[in-house]
Amino acid sequence: MHYPGSYLAGVYNSLHSVVLGQETVDEHMVNIPDWLPLDLRIGDGAWWSEGGLSLRSERRTLDLKRAVLTREALLEDDAGRQLLLVQRRLVSMAEPHLAALETVITAVGWGGGECPQRLRHGRHQFQRSRGRGVVQPASGFRPGLGVRGGPGRRGAHGGSPDRHQRDRDRPRAPDRRRPVRRTGGAGIPEQLGGLYTNRFDVPLAEGEQLTVLKTVAVASSRDHAIASPLTGARAVLARAPGSFEALQTEHEAAWAVLLQPFVIEFDASSQAQLILNLHVFHLLQTLTTHTAELDAGVPARGLHGEGYRGHVFWDELFVLPLLNSRLPSLARELIDYRWRRLGAARDAARAAGLKGRCSHGKAAGTAPNRHQSCCSTGSPGTGCRTIPGFSGMLGSLSPTTPGSTSRPPRTGAG
């Protein structure tokens, strides 16, 4: 995947597609509107997204104990002027509808008083996911931002309802001890295709830090106790803390409670422990106390991409032993998820002329016609079934005639 991806547990969209020459209708994980866009340029130069700034060094650090992603990058324009960019990102475990991105920008080796630093904050009007799903945001919303600044540090704060490391040469981190005082300000609203933006022109002295805080609330019609996704998202923003530090403190406290019973420590190399705890981190980014009340299941690969299109196979069989003694309420919900779909599985088996249950391994919804046909060829009387697979392989089962030792068609839950 070579584009940003943000996903919500249990949110799918129906899609017609042709696989191995057969038309199917099933449900796919939806890539919701991208909440991360933040563009930069120096003076009237080209924007970073347009190639106006080159990436000279980069380091990404995932703090597993705090569930915070940090990105440090050094950018340079054609004139040799450099910007140090440090970003911290979190999806709050204290408030599951809240996410935040803090960006600190510093001019390195030059003063921007006569050549202002310009930044463009934006949100997509909609985001397509390989044609598999489209989410339209609430109409009539425009992001609002205010500017804060001071002799040591400047910033913009915005709201929109809507340790694993990867590094090159490590740039310098910003000095977070410098004082900050608030000032007024507003961006210049622009619309670029499907992207709404607010543009800020900010003079930046050498060594001075410009801080941009983007706080985002995401709600859907599947959420409880809300009149609409828009009012639900606005309510989350209204009660959210006004600083990244406060957001992070609340998030870390909730994450520590969730993580503590899952931490793996044993007599082995630190690298082995790091790898195992990274897998635990991925699991807890998909299944938490917040998803226990959702009809979501366990999508293959979790909420980490679209390699399996978000389909739900039988991955809970691998994770239930880990959850049973630590989050029994969540383990029970995963069993209930299957129970709710037993009726549809029996209907699918009967439609194919079979007994028992026919489970498609893509249980996003419950209606049989929302999934690929369980048994696509053959007639009920012969027992011959061919089951197409999305990996490009074609698995077939031989006819089960009297006296045959061939394996019969699978009609159970496996």
pLDDT in tens, 328-375: 999 999 999 989 988 988 998 898 888 888 776 554 554 433 344 444
Whether 90 and 196 share a structural domain: yes
Whether 162 and 199 share a structural domain: yes
Whether 189 and 316 share a structural domain: no
Beta bridge partners of 12: 29
The answer to whether position 389 is within a domain reads yes
The answer to whether position 10 is within a domain reads no
Out of 256, 285, 308, a domain closes at 256
Contact 315, 274 (CB under 8 A): no
Out of 256, 286, 314, a domain closes at 256
Counted domains in the chain: 2
Number of Cβ atoms within 10 Å of the Cβ of 314? 15
Average pLDDT, the chain: 74
Whether 112 and 198 share a structural domain: yes
Residue 304 is predicted with a pLDDT of: 78
The answer to whether position 3 is within a domain reads no
Residue 3 is predicted with a pLDDT of: 79
The answer to whether position 339 is within a domain reads yes
In the structure, what pLDDT confidence band is assigned to residue 262 with cuts at 50, 70 and 90?
very high
Per-residue pLDDT tens over the stretch 290-317: 998 888 889 888 887 777 777 788 888 8
Residue 394 is predicted with a pLDDT of: 31
Residue with token string 């022109």: 201
Domain that holds residue 301: 268-414
Residue 391 is predicted with a pLDDT of: 39
Q: Which of 60-69, 75-84, 128-137, 341-350 is predicted least confidently?
A: 128-137
Q: Is the pLDDT of residue 246 over 60?
A: yes
Residue with token string 């044609």: 131
The answer to whether position 11 is within a domain reads no
Whether 59 and 154 share a structural domain: yes
Residue 410 is predicted with a pLDDT of: 35
Out of 232, 256, 280, a domain closes at 256
Q: What angle do CA 358, 364, 365 make, to 5 degrees?
A: 80
Q: Is the pLDDT of residue 172 over 70?
A: no
Between residues 288 and 2, which one has the greater pLDDT?
288
Q: What angle do CA 309, 33, 7 make, to 5 degrees?
A: 40
Residue 307 is predicted with a pLDDT of: 72
Between residues 396 and 186, which one has the greater pLDDT?
186
Average pLDDT over residues 374-400: 37
The answer to whether position 20 is within a domain reads no
| For the chain, percent of residues with pLDDT exceeding 90 | 36
Name residue 157's amino acid.
Answer: H
The answer to whether position 286 is within a domain reads yes
Q: Tokens at residue 16, please?
A: 């017609």
Residue 296 is predicted with a pLDDT of: 87
Which residues are CB-neighbours of 188 under 8 A, at least 6 positions away?
198, 199, 200, 201
Burial class of 265 by CB neighbour count within 10 A (0 to 12, 13 to 18, 19+): exposed
- The CATH number that applies at residue 151 is 2.70.98
Residue 10 is predicted with a pLDDT of: 87
22-25: list long-range contacts, CB under 8 Å, 24+ apart. Answer: 22/373, 22/376, 22/388, 24/371, 24/372, 24/373, 25/369, 25/370, 25/371
Q: Tokens at residue 372, please?
A: 């690929």
CA atoms within 13 A on the CB side of 226: 17
> What span, in angstroms and rounded, lies between the C-alpha atoms of 233 and 251?
18
